[in-house]
Structure 1
Amino acid sequence: MMTSGDGRSPEEPRLLMHREMAGDLRLIASLIDMRMTALEDAEGLVALRQVRGLIRSMALAHGTAYEAGTGGMVSARRLMEKLVKSTRLTHCTRTWITTAVDAGAVKIPAASAVPLALAVSELIRESVLRSLDGMAEGSITLTVREDEHRYTITIADSGFGGSDMRGGEEETTIGTIVADHIVHYRLKGTIERQEGDGRTRVITFPKPAGPT
């Protein structure tokens, strides 16, 4: 491994940046938590809860990138497991939800991990708050695959789909817009939505052409 004149790896400043970003974002999320305890306005609480969720997802992505060490690649399995756990705990409902992650040994560039984390967390939240709302139990499965040119992430749940979806429509609609925007403009990819026995969302985006 190459080192700089002071003996440090060229990757070290990037790793430290991920660690510092994760810490700063966690602090911001904690400050939002404090503000929410004193806020009585329902619409304001919805907005702050959503912003807090996005900030936590960014912190998770940066933290996972730091834990991955040098190389600039993040374990997709570890990132998805953290996201689904965090989102599930943030949005507590009466539905007993089991989760599963199937990502094999796929690794994602750190530069793509943060926007991907934002999009995936919003789609998980949609499953928790709308697709599975009102059910006694349900499941969410995340699958990550790759080929020579692209990554494919599938978020599938066993809940209601289409017009049968329920729960906080306004809150999840905003999240859907956020996810679409991030995937299209940041990842240069697409989201395909499939209705049927449950609800499935498929994110596809190209692999970077050069080093990240």
Structure 2
Amino acid sequence: MSATFEVYEKQYCELSANLAKKCSSASLLDGEQKKQKISEINAGVDQAEALIRKMDLEARGLQPNVKAVLLAKLREYKSDLNNLKSDVKRIASTNLNQAARDDLLESGMADTLAVSANQRDRLLMSTGKLNNSSNRIRESRKVMLETEELGVSLLQDLHQQRQSLLHANNTLHGVDDNIGRSRKIITNMSRRMNRNKWVIGAIITVLVIAIAVILYFKLSK
């Protein structure tokens, strides 16, 4: 996860909790004090919106699997901010008198705090689930990187084996060429031996005939 996103996230959570407290206290005020408190809250809401925009920009520049987790977090934070805006509008449009403030102090304040607490709890639960998802994604990414390294190692081994096979193939081609040349030499030698056999045979035949003629003439005398 991005360290920059985590910094923005921490700032937003602290600011959101502070704004919730200010909304609760502003609902008990009246007149100028109430207006001043609402003005402070609106300024804080603007800061919260700026932090959400920064988180959104940071998340969209990350890898798809991490971006999906962070954007899910942002949806929770945007929903929380919309609830704060609704509380501010409700407080700004309500003109409470002393009796209403007493009733709010007894019942409405408790309900508002309970709702805010429930919202914070839901937000924390969602954040915990998203953090677990982030951890699973990191583990999956680790496994993917290990698998990728294994694949690279296998590809290197296959490349070396391919080079060895190519070298062996070249050697075999050389052996084939040598065998071809040897076959030609043997064929030529065989032809020469056959010719020599015929020549020797012819010479022997001539000699035999010559001897027979000589013997004939000698015996006939």
TM-score (norm 2): 0.31
Higher alpha-carbon Rg: 2
| More strand as a share of residues | 1
The answer to which structure has the higher helix fraction is 2
Structure possessing the higher relative contact order (Cα contacts under 8 Å, 6 or more residues apart): 2
TM-score, normalization by structure 1? 0.32
